Amino acid sequence: MEKIKGLIDAPFTPFKANGDINLEPIPAYAAMLAKNGLKGVFINGSSGEGYMLTTEERMTLAEKWIESVPEGFKVIVHVGSCCLRESAKLASHAQSIGAYGTGAMAPPFPKIGRIEELVKYCEAIASAAPLLPFYYYHIPAFNGAFLPMTELLKAVDGRIDNFAGIKYTYESLYEYNQCRLYKGGKYDMLHGQDETILPSLAQGGAQGGIGGTTNYNGRELVGIIDAWKRGDLEAAREKQNFSQDVINVICNYRGNIVGGKRIMKLIGLDLGPNRVPFRNLTDEEELSMKKELEEINFFERCNKF
């Protein structure tokens, strides 16, 4: 099965002022990401407020993204849901419209507490789109599924034929690397933390990744990998440290989903508000965040249209 090389973006979902999804910005959004070196999108995930969308909205967004992306630009559809039947429906739909792959995090409710429960969950979704690679999205901070991923790989090996790998969004670089090394690198381990791309490269991994701050800081994050490949460690370090500076700013403004989405407006693509219960930035907070970003010269280095 193909292993993804380069960075995949986790896009925000554009909303109108009344909270309806807004498809209009997606073609320009897709073109901007490709221009700045991203290799695809992982839609309807946590950055995209996927669990706050209806099934119909998620399908409509998937169709629009696939219609809008340039040739060769991968669209992976997050299909995780608290209703497994809805997940299977979304996965089948993704296959029918020509998505590159599907993915799912463990549901926030009911909490999955055993590997076998997680395998059955993944198995049901992956079997609904058997022609597409399936990625498990490991983000235990969102759903409490603090399970050993090496054990998951052992359990799915030989059982889920289209299990491609894991989007690994967790702090354990040791476990990430152990998963990467499993059976000589059998599975695709997509690095999911923009703040630690460089140390993962040093371990031999991070050939591919899925990020959220790539929405607006993709040029610098792609630049980390490019600098590493050409042996320029100092440039890679500088870009990683700058990327952490950007993350430090958004952490002051309710993180990537809220603060990061507002940054898109500041760089030229207004994607609208977040859905309730997210607390949107006030105008005063937006000005304050803009000032903090200016202090680190963000607007000279951010994604360009």
State pLDDT tens for residues 111-160: 999 999 999 999 999 999 999 999 999 999 999 999 999 999 999 999 99
Q: Report whether pLDDT(1) > 90.
A: no
Mean pLDDT of the 10-39 span: 98
Cα–Cα distance, 69 to 66 (Å, whole number): 6
What is the DSSP secondary-structure string of 251-272?
HTTTHIIIIIHHHHHHTT----
Identify the CA nearest to 31 among candidates 58, 5, 65. 65
Work out whether the CA dihedral 206, 208, 211, 213 comes out positive or negative: positive
Taking CA atoms, 143 is separated from 35, 72, 98, 104, 156, in Å, by 33, 32, 29, 12, 20
> Is 70 exceeded by the pLDDT of residue 286?
yes
Which run of H or E residues covers position 164? strand 163-168
167 annotated active-site? yes
Phi, psi of 87 (to 5 degrees): -60, -45
Reduced to 3 states (helix: H, G, I; strand: E, B; else coil), residue 109 is coil
pLDDT at residue 57 in the model: 98
What is the C-alpha separation between 132 and 130, in angstroms, rounded? 6
Please check the confidence at residue 46 and state whether its pLDDT lies above 70: yes
Asked if residues 271 and 280 have their Cβ atoms less than 8 Å apart, the reply is: no
What does the pLDDT average to over 268-290? 98
% of the chain with per-residue pLDDT over 90: 98
**pLDDT over threshold 90, residue 204:** no
Strand-pair partners of 21: 15
Q: What pTM did the predictor assign?
A: 0.97
Among residues 138, 243, 237, 129, the alpha carbon closest in space to that of 189 is found at 138
Write out pLDDT tens, residues 68-94: 999 999 999 999 999 999 999 999 999
The pLDDT > 70 percentage for the chain reads 99
Residue 38 in this model has a pLDDT that exceeds 70: yes
Query: pLDDT at position 207, please?
Result: 83
In the CATH hierarchy, which fold is given to the domain comprising 6-232?
TIM Barrel (3.20.20)
Per-residue pLDDT tens over the stretch 134-148: 999 999 999 999 999
130 backbone dihedrals φ, ψ, rounded to 5°:
-70, -15
- Residue pLDDT, tens place only, 233-263: 999 999 999 999 999 999 999 999 999 999 9
Q: At what angle do helices 55-68 and 26-35 cross, to 10 degrees?
A: 50
Q: Structure tokens of 215?
A: 């929405």
| pLDDT on residue 205 | 66
Query: What 8-state DSSP symbol labels residue 211?
Result: E
Residue 126 and residue 101: Cα distance in Å, rounded?
A: 10
Active site residue 35: no
Mean pLDDT of the chain: 97
Q: What angle do CA 110, 63, 1 make, to 5 degrees?
A: 70
Out of 167, 176, 239, 253, pick the active-site residue: 167
* Position 206 pLDDT exceeds 90: no
Active-site hit among 29, 51, 136, 137:
137
> β-strand 208-211 against 163-168: which pairing, if any?
unpaired
- Give me the pLDDT at residue 116, please: 98
DSSP single-letter state for residue 15? B
In 3D space, the residue among 10, 32, 64 whose CA is nearest the CA of residue 270 turns out to be: 32
SS3 at position 233:
helix
Task: Return the structure tokens found at 20.
Answer: 């309806």
Backbone angles phi, psi at 209, to 5 degrees: -160, 165
Cα 83 from chain centroid?
Answer: 21
Confidence tier at 295 by pLDDT (50, 70, 90) = very high
Quick check: 29 pLDDT over 90?
yes
Distances (CA, A) of 225 to 176, 185, 200, 246: 18, 19, 10, 18
End-to-end CA distance of the chain: 33
